[in-house]
Structure 1
Amino acid sequence: MATQHDSLHYYLKEIGRFPLLTHEEEITLARQVQAGNPRAKRKMIEANLRLVVSIAKKHQNRGLPLLDLIQEGNLGLSIAVDKFEPEQGNRFSTYAYWWILQGVTRSLQNKGRVVRLPVKHWQVGNQIKRTRHQLSQELGREPTVVEIADAMEMDLTRLKKYLHSLQETVSLDKFVGSEQDTTLGDLIEGNDSTQSYLDLLLQDEELSGYLALLDDRQRFVISERYGLEDGKPKSMEKIGQKLGISRERVRQIIKKAMQTLEKCALSA
Structure 2
Amino acid sequence: MIARRKEKDGEIELLDRIKKGDKEAMEQFTKKNQGLVIYLAKKYAFTPDILPDLIAEGNMGLLRAVEKFDARKKVKFGTYAYFWIKRFIIRAIIREFEVLKIPERYQELKDKVEEVKREYMFKKGTMPTDKEIAKSLNLPVEVLKKMKKYTSQVRMISSDFFDGEKQVDLFDIKDFSSKAEPNIWEIFRNKDLLEKIFNQLREKEKKANVDMWLNVLEMYYGLGGKVPLSYKEIAEELNVSRQRIHQIKKTCLQKLAREWKEMKKEEEGQKRNGHM
TM-score, scaled to structure 2: 0.40
| Structure (1 or 2) with the larger CA radius of gyration | 2
Using structure 1 for the length normalisation, give the TM-score: 0.41
